[in-house]
Amino acid sequence: MSVLTGQLAPAFTAHAVLDGSHIVDDFSLDQYIGKKYVVLFFYPKDFTFVCPTELHAFQERLADFASRDTVVVACSTDSAECHHGWLRLAKAEGGIQGVTYPLIADTNKTISSNFDVLDGEYDYDEEGELVGTSELICNRGLFLIDKEGVVQHQVVNNKPLGRSVDEALRMVDALRHFEAEGEVCPANWNSGSKAMTASFEGVADYLAAH
C-alpha cells in the first residue's frame, strides 16, 4: 500500500452528488485548497451493511467537523445515479436519506487506485487505462488533508471493520493544535489535554507528569 502521508493528495475531477439531491460532473477537492481541511473517506459499496452506519455516523457529527473548519467527503466506485438512489431510501430501510456531504462517484476506479484503496484484480493497458479482471471496490480508507492539499493522516480498514468518527475528529484536533501551537501531540491526546514540545526536555517533562 502506498503511504500518502506528507504528500499532496492525488488530484481528480469526478461526478458527485451534492446536498443529497443533485449531481454535478466537475467535483474536485481543489475548491477547498487554502480554505478548509478535508476528511475524505472511501467506502466499499452502496446498498450494503456497514457502509450506511458509517455514512450516517459522519452526518451526525457534521457540525463538529464544520466547527473545526473541516469538510467531509465520501467516495465509492458506484455511479452518481446509484448514490442518488441510495440517498432516496429511508434510514429505517437501510438507506442514507439525510446525508448531505458530497458523495463522489469513482466509476472508472482511478481515484480509488490513486489513493491505493482499490481492492480487486486489475492492471493498466498500453493507454494507461485501468482494466479490471474482477469486481473492484474500495477498502475503508480515510485521509485527512490539510488546507495546502497535503495528506496528514491516513488509515485503511478491511471491509468488515467500521471506522471511528471520534478518532477522525481527534486527528483534526491534533493537526489544528500542532499548526496553531507548534506542539506535538502524544499518545491518546485529546483536545484540551497537555501536548509537548518536540524536544528531549519536552518529552521528559510530559512523561514525568504522567
Identify which of 3, 29, 67 has the alpha carbon closest to the alpha carbon of residue 147: 29
As a whole number of angstroms, the distance between CA 8 and CA 24 comes to: 24
Q: Over the chain, what is the mean pLDDT?
A: 94
List, for residues 41-70, the tens digit of each pLDDT value.
999 999 999 999 999 999 999 999 999 999
Q: Are residues 53 and 153 in the same domain?
A: yes
Q: How many domains does the chain have?
A: 2
Among 106, 116, 104, 105, which residue's Cα sits nearest to residue 10?
116
Active site residue 51: yes
In a domain, 5, yes or no: no
Q: Is the pTM of this model over 0.85?
A: yes
Alpha-carbon distance 37 to 142, whole Å? 13
Q: Which of 51, 75, 82, 138 is catalytic?
A: 51
Indicate if 157 and 70 belong to the same structural domain: yes
CATH number, domain of 115, equals 3.40.30.10
35 and 70 share a domain?
yes
178: helix, strand or coil: helix
| Residues 121 and 174 both lie in one domain | no
C-alpha 17/C-alpha 81 separation (Å) is 8
59-114 confidence digits (pLDDT tens): 999 999 999 999 999 999 999 999 999 999 999 999 999 999 999 999 999 999 99
**For range 145-162, the mean pLDDT:** 97
Domain assignment of residue 108, given as a range: 14-163
124 and 32, same structural domain?
yes
Q: Give pLDDT, residue 38.
A: 98
Classify residue 54 by burial, with Cβ atoms within 10 Å: 0-12, 13-18, 19+. Answer: buried
Note whether 93 and 175 are same-domain residues: no
Are 94 and 29 within one domain? yes
Specify burial of residue 23 (Cβ count, 10 A radius: 0-12, 13-18, 19+): middle
Q: Are residues 99 and 184 in the same domain?
A: no
How many whole angstroms separate alpha carbon 158 and alpha carbon 106?
19
Is 2 inside a domain boundary? Answer: no
Contact between 210 and 204 (Cβ < 8 Å):
no
* 56 lies in the same domain as 131: yes
* Helix ranges, 25-109 (H): 50-60, 62-66, 80-87
Backbone φ and ψ for 78, nearest 5 degrees, come out as -75, 160
Domain annotation covers residue 199: yes
Pair 55, 106 in one domain: yes
* Same domain (yes/no): 73, 94: yes
Answer whether residue 44 is part of any domain: yes
Residue 206 included in any domain: yes
Cα gap 76→83, rounded to integer Å: 9
